[in-house]
Amino acid sequence: MRLDTTGKLLSVIIPAYNEELMIQKAAETIHTILENEKIPHELLFVNDGSSDGTWGQISALSQTESWMKGICFSRNFGKEAAMFAGMYYAAGDCCVLIDCDLQHPPQKIVEMYRLWEQGYEVIEAVKTDRGKENPLHTLAAACFYSMISKATGMDMSRASDFKLLDRKAVTVLLNIREKNAFFRALSSWIGFRTTQVEFEVQERTAGTSKWSTMSLVRYAVSNISSFSTAPMQLVTLLGVVMLVFSVLLGISTLYDKFTGIAPEGFTTVIIVQLFTGSIIMMSLGLIGYYISRIYEEVKGRPRFVVAETSGEVEEKPQLS
């Protein structure tokens, strides 16, 4: 909906997974802020296969409010898929991606929109701190971000999914065929006139985080492998180390043989066998993992399946 013909439409994309307690609050907070600033906007909620009343809340609100729109997935496809779906259906000249739990302060949208008006095409909100987390998570996150920063060549340690993207950047992202892309890194990778704003991660006011430790580990591994083949090269390195090791052991074994104390080496043989065996298995697993990623991309299944929409969402063919 265009409230003002001079301003350009801003689409606010909000992925929501089991967030029934937050929908109304998030929608009203964001709408009020943008309304006060006279920024023409639409709010596009993407229900990522929630099992609670999230979709009911979204569709009810979009019956009465013309700025409210909703897309409902057929099942849970994950936050990255929800963000892509939002960008696909967004009608705006620029899109903001923001979490439903208001941990990304919505007031920042205004600042980001003003920067966009000045001509910036990608505005990234970076965290000044990581909010409250358990120390193990902080440590794991530090390891993950140092690896992913090396792999992408960009500093990702403070990156978040809270971003404003110009229509141009959105089109480029939608045209990238890679299905298992790491959105946070990909949106920096595309380039464009980029700037940053800082924000403090807020406390979640309702509901719980949707990430279990295991899902975070899976997310980390998948993102590292989508930006880097370094783990595969690690296998080669291990091979070299093993070779050096076996040459040394070989020499020592031959020495033993010629000095007539050969049977002594039996323990070594077992150790070497176990060691080589485990490294080969690890390496095969790693290669298998990359092959499975290739397989997934090659299958070319869609990133998400939309079951229904609510509000004035434009009809679009299924994105492949």
Quote the least distance from Cβ 16 to ligand UDP, whole Å: 5
> Are 41 and 34 within 8 A, CB to CB?
yes
101 lies in the binding site for Mg ion (CB under 5 A): yes
62 interacts with Mg ion by CB under 5 A:
no
Nearer to Mg ion, 44 or 201 (CB): 201
Closer to ligand UDP by Cβ: residue 131 or 191: 131
**Token pair for residue 225?**
């492998």
CB 99 → ligand UDP: shortest distance, Å? 4
- CB-based contacts of 104, cutoff 8 Å, min separation 6: 98, 125, 160, 162, 199, 201, 202
List of residues contacting ligand UDP (CB under 6 A): 15-17, 19, 48, 76, 78-79, 82, 99-101, 103, 209-211
> With CB under 5 A as the contact rule, which of the stretches 10-18, 74-82, 93-101, 141-149 interacts with Mg ion?
93-101
C-alpha pair distances (Å), 82 with each of 48, 76, 168:
6, 9, 19
What 3-state class would DSSP assign to 306? Answer: strand
Q: How far is CA 309 from the centre of its chain?
A: 24
Pairwise CA distance, residues 275 & 238, whole Å: 11
> 175, 195, 183: which is closest to 122 by C-alpha?
195
Sole binder of Mg ion in the list 103, 152, 188, 309 (CB under 5 A): 103
CB of 157 to Mg ion, least distance (A): 18
Residue whose CB is less far from ligand UDP, 23 or 115: 23
According to the binding rule CB under 5 A, does residue 124 interact with Mg ion? no
Residue 18 in contact with Mg ion, rule: CB under 5 A? no
Written as six digits, the tokens of 188 are 């920096």
Binding footprint of Mg ion on the chain (CB under 5 A):
101, 103
